[in-house]
Structure 1
Amino acid sequence: MNIQAMAQDIPVEGEHTMEGVDFITSGDQYLTFLLAQEQYAVDILCVEEIRSWEQPTKIPNAPSYIKGVINMRGIIVPIVDLRLKFSIGEASYLDTTVVIVLTYQSDNNSRTIGFVVDAVSDVLNVDNADIKPAPAFGGCVGPQYIEGLINSENKVVTILNVAHLQKVEPHRLHS
């Protein structure tokens, strides 16, 4: 048995070793989705699952963007409509409407919340150097929710900060 010959068969980092399977060679992966025809993305490592839209159980006195809760294998998961949270477009529930369930780990606790979006688009491989800071001017999505921007196929994709998405602001009454 020739050890040197065997060592040459060991794949080098970044090489594809299995046909038909894409490997991440550098950077991160993001799940992209649509909100009112605009592209957004979240870190794919935070995605627990993607569910079809189902009417959740309402929570009394919750902010209007919190649609309610669902029972997901024994875990009570709040459902947030991102269109309402960010005041983007109309909140209509079509066949393409899905709930992206995200779990975020911080210190010793984790939080699972579902986010209603218009449709899931794709998974992007992104090199960290390609992520640009968000512009300083205001928009419908608060700067605390934006992790950065990337160009993908002539479109700008807004990467959302999952840690900030998990925070629920106190309910404010409109006057």
Structure 2
Amino acid sequence: MAEELKVIVFTLAHEEYGIEVDKVRTIERMVPITRVPKTPAFVKGVINLRGVVIPIIDLRGRFGLPESEPTENTRIIIVAANDLEVGFIVDSANDVVDIMSDTIGVPPEVVGGIKAKYLSGVAALGDNRLLILLNLSEVLNRSEIIQLEQMGD
């Protein structure tokens, strides 16, 4: 029996990606980010969101895509991964879709220049759309999570 997944759809470099709704805490407009020294280039810094310090990652930089200037559509998706809240900068976040688990296929080795290890699957939506599902545990690998946890201290 196929399960139904609720997924938040966001865009990066004209491709559509998805994160399961139950992993997303909130979606915020772009805010000023405080830079933190000695972090990887894709870690943009931290924000203070309602009293909680949250590390912010530029997903374009994380995936080796060209960076772009924020626009009025740029969003920060706050996700919970392994008891850590992290914000992902994305080009836009504009949709919630239901996906049946049996429509999710194995991702090819590289999708839009992004290595398959960062992806959990590719879902076929109607109207010839493919939705690339993120593998949050790989997007935030163990050593990076430790580094990000220390940023909040």
TM-score scaled to structure 1, two decimals?
A: 0.75
- Which protein is richer in strand relative to its size? 2
Which residue in the other structure is 1:159 paired with?
Answer: 133
User: What fraction of aligned residue pairs are identical, expressed as a percent?
Assistant: 28
Unaligned stretches of 5+ in structure 2?
148-153
- Candidates 27, 38, 57, aligned match of 1:61: 38
- Which protein is richer in helix relative to its size? 2
Misfit runs of 4+, over 3 Å: 136-139
Higher relative contact order (CA 8 A, sep 6+): 2
Unaligned stretches of 5+ in structure 1?
1-24
TM-score scaled to structure 2, two decimals?
A: 0.85
Instruction: Note the alpha carbon deviations across 1:9-55, whole angstroms, 9 max, x for none.
Output: xxxxxxxxxxxxxxxx9411110100011000001101100000012
Q: Is the 8 A contact 2:28 2:76 kept in 1?
A: yes
Equivalent AA in structure 1 for residue 92 of structure 2: A
Q: Say if 1:140 and 1:170 are closer, same or farther in 2 by CA, change over 3 A.
A: farther
Instruction: Note the alpha carbon deviations across 1:72-95, whole angstroms, 9 max, x for none.
Output: 222211000001111223321110
1:94 aligns with 2:71: yes
Paired residues, number: 143
**Deviation (angstroms), 1:121:** 2.5
- What is the aligned-residue RMSD (CA, Å)? 2.2
